[in-house]
Structure 1
Amino acid sequence: MRLRDVSLAAIFIALTVPAAAQQATPAIRLDTIEVQGNGERANGPVNGYVATRSASGSKTDTPILEVPQTVNVVTADQIRAQGAQSVSEALRYTAGVRGEVYGGASQFDSYTQIRGFKGDLFLDGTRLPDGAATADWTTSVIEPYGLERVEVLKGPSSVLYGQSGPGGLVNMVSKRPTATPFREIQLQTGSYGRLQGAFDLSGPIDPQGRFLYRLTGLGRMSETQTDFIDDDRIFIAPAFTWRPSTDTTLTVMGQYLRERDGKTSFNYLPTSGTLYPNRVNGRLPWNRYAGEPGFDRFERDQGSIGYAFEHRFNDSLSFSQNLRYTQNDVYLRALNRNGELLADNRTLNRAAFRIDAAARAFTLDNRLEAKFGTGPLSHTALIGLDYRNEISQYDVGRGPAASIQIFNPVYGAAIADPGINFQRKDAELRQLGFYLQDQIKFERWIATLSGRYDIADTKTRTHTLTTNALVRSRTSDRAFSGRAGLSYVFDNGLAPYVSVSTSFQPTAETDFFGGAFKPLTATQYEAGIKYQPSWIDASLTAAVFDIRQQNTPSGDPNPAHPFARVQLGEVAVRGFDIEARAQLTEGLGLIASYAFLDHEISKSSVITDIGKRLPATPMHQGSLWADYTLQGGPLAGFGFGGGIRFVGSTYDTANTVRIPSYTLVDASLSYDLGKALSALNGAKLSVVAKNLFDRYYVSQCGNVPGCTLGSRRSVLATLTYRW
Structure 2
Amino acid sequence: MSISPPRLQPPQPHHARPFKKRTVFAGSSAVAMACLTQATLAQTVVPADPNRPVQLDEIVIQGASAAGPFGPDSGYVARRTLAGAKTDTPVIEIPQTVNIIPADQIRVQGAQTIGEALRYSAGVAAETYGAASRFDSYVQIRGFKADMFLDGMRLPDGSATADWTTSVVEPYGLERIEILRGPSSGLYGQSGPGGIVNMVSKRPTATPLREVQVQTGSFSRLQGSFDFGGPIDAGGTFLYRLTGVVRQSQTQVDFMHDDRLFLAPAFTWRPGDDTTLTILGQVLRDRNGHASFNYLPTSGTLNPNPVNGRLPFNRYAGEPTFDRFDRDQAMVGYALDHRFNDTFSFSQNLRYTANDIYLRALNRNGELQPDNRTLNRNAFRIDATARAVTLDNRLVARFQTGALAHTMLFGLDYRNEHSTYDVGRGGAPAIDIFNPTYGLAVTDPGINFQRKTADLRQLGVYAQDQIKFGGFIATFSGRYDWSSVQTRTTTVSTKALVAATADDRAFSGRAGLSYVFDNGLAPYVSYSSAFQPTAETDFFGQVFRPLTSRQYEAGIKYQPAGVNASITAAIFDIRQQNSLTGDTNPAHPFARVQLGEVSVRGFDVEARARLGEGWGIIASYAYLDHEVTKSSVAADVGKRLAATPVHQASLWADYTVQSGGLAGLTVGAGLRYVGGTFNGTNSVQVPAYALVDASLQYDLGNASPRLAGARLSVVAKNLFDTYYVSQCGNVPGCTLGSRRTVLATLSYRW
2-side partners of 1:70 and 1:545: how far apart? 10
Select 2:606's aligned residue among 565, 579, 591.
579
1:114 alignment counterpart: 141
2-side partners of 1:615 and 1:261: how far apart? 27
2-side partners of 1:239 and 1:561: how far apart? 43
2:216 alignment counterpart: 189
Per the TM alignment, residue 588 of structure 1 is displaced from its structure 2 partner at its CA by 1.1
The percent identity for this pair of structures is 71
Aligned residues: 699
CA displacement, residues 633-658 of structure 1 (integer Å, 9 cap, x when unaligned): 11111110100000000000110000
2-side partners of 1:667 and 1:630: how far apart? 16
Select 1:257's aligned residue among 284, 291, 298.
284
2-side partners of 1:2 and 1:394: how far apart? 26
2:338 alignment counterpart: 311
Select 1:419's aligned residue among 424, 439, 446.
446
1-side partners of 2:644 and 2:287: how far apart? 32
- Are residue 157 (structure 1) and residue 184 (structure 2) matched? yes
1:17 alignment counterpart: none
Per the TM alignment, residue 535 of structure 1 is displaced from its structure 2 partner at its CA by 2.7
Partner amino acid for 2:333?
G
SS at the partner of 2:505? strand
Select 1:172's aligned residue among 199, 205, 208.
199
2-side partners of 1:688 and 1:342: how far apart? 41
Is the CA contact (8 Å cut-off) linking 1:105 and 1:229 kept in structure 2? no
Structure 2 unaligned regions, length at least 5: 4-55
Select 1:589's aligned residue among 602, 611, 616.
616
Indicate how the Cα distance of structure 1 residues 707 and 666 shifts in structure 2: closer, same or farther if over 3 A, else same.
same
- Are residue 519 (structure 1) and residue 540 (structure 2) matched? no
Is the CA contact (8 Å cut-off) linking 2:455 and 2:486 kept in structure 1? yes
- Structure-to-structure mapping, 1:269-668, within 5 angstroms: 269-668=296-695
Indicate how the Cα distance of structure 1 residues 606 and 320 shifts in structure 2: closer, same or farther if over 3 A, else same.
same
Per the TM alignment, residue 30 of structure 1 is displaced from its structure 2 partner at its CA by 7.0
2-side partners of 1:606 and 1:586: how far apart? 58
2-side partners of 1:252 and 1:349: how far apart? 50
Per the TM alignment, residue 38 of structure 1 is displaced from its structure 2 partner at its CA by 2.1
CA displacement, residues 369-413 of structure 1 (integer Å, 9 cap, x when unaligned): 000111110100000000000000110000100000000000011
Partner amino acid for 1:645?
R
1-side partners of 2:133 and 2:231: how far apart? 39
2-side partners of 1:423 and 1:32: how far apart? 61
1:101 alignment counterpart: 128
Structure 1 unaligned regions, length at least 5: 4-28
1:7 alignment counterpart: none
1:9 alignment counterpart: none
CA displacement, residues 185-224 of structure 1 (integer Å, 9 cap, x when unaligned): 0000000000000000000011110100000001000000
SS at the partner of 1:688? strand
2-side partners of 1:252 and 1:586: how far apart? 40
SS at the partner of 1:88? helix
Partner amino acid for 2:485?
T
1-side partners of 2:717 and 2:67: how far apart? 30
1-side partners of 2:119 and 2:287: how far apart? 27
Per the TM alignment, residue 264 of structure 1 is displaced from its structure 2 partner at its CA by 1.8
2:227 alignment counterpart: 200
Is the CA contact (8 Å cut-off) linking 1:539 and 1:582 kept in structure 2? yes
CA displacement, residues 110-165 of structure 1 (integer Å, 9 cap, x when unaligned): 42110000001000000000123101100100000000001110000011111110
Per the TM alignment, residue 2 of structure 1 is displaced from its structure 2 partner at its CA by 4.3
CA displacement, residues 310-336 of structure 1 (integer Å, 9 cap, x when unaligned): 000001110000100000000000000
1-side partners of 2:713 and 2:483: how far apart? 49
1:72 alignment counterpart: 99
**4+ residue stretches of structure 1 with deviation over 3 A?**
29-37
> What TM-score comes out, normalization by structure 2 length?
0.92
2-side partners of 1:347 and 1:86: how far apart? 34
2:13 alignment counterpart: none
1-side partners of 2:404 and 2:446: how far apart? 65
Per the TM alignment, residue 31 of structure 1 is displaced from its structure 2 partner at its CA by 6.2
Indicate how the Cα distance of structure 1 residues 559 and 467 shifts in structure 2: closer, same or farther if over 3 A, else same.
farther
Select 2:722's aligned residue among 674, 695, 702.
695
Is the CA contact (8 Å cut-off) linking 1:264 and 1:291 kept in structure 2? no
Is the CA contact (8 Å cut-off) linking 1:30 and 1:209 kept in structure 2? no
SS at the partner of 1:38? helix
Is the CA contact (8 Å cut-off) linking 2:137 and 2:169 kept in structure 1? no
Select 1:686's aligned residue among 713, 725, 731.
713
Partner amino acid for 1:485?
G
Is the CA contact (8 Å cut-off) linking 2:134 and 2:164 kept in structure 1? no
1-side partners of 2:283 and 2:2: how far apart? 17
SS at the partner of 1:192? coil
Partner amino acid for 2:434?
F
Partner amino acid for 1:151?
E
SS at the partner of 1:262? coil
Is the CA contact (8 Å cut-off) linking 2:566 and 2:607 kept in structure 1? yes
> What TM-score comes out, normalization by structure 1 length?
0.95
Per the TM alignment, residue 266 of structure 1 is displaced from its structure 2 partner at its CA by 1.2
Select 1:236's aligned residue among 263, 276, 283.
263
Which 10-residue stretch deviates more, 58-67 or 468-477?
A: 468-477
CA displacement, residues 31-82 of structure 1 (integer Å, 9 cap, x when unaligned): 6559799211011210010010101010001000000000010110000000
SS at the partner of 1:590? strand
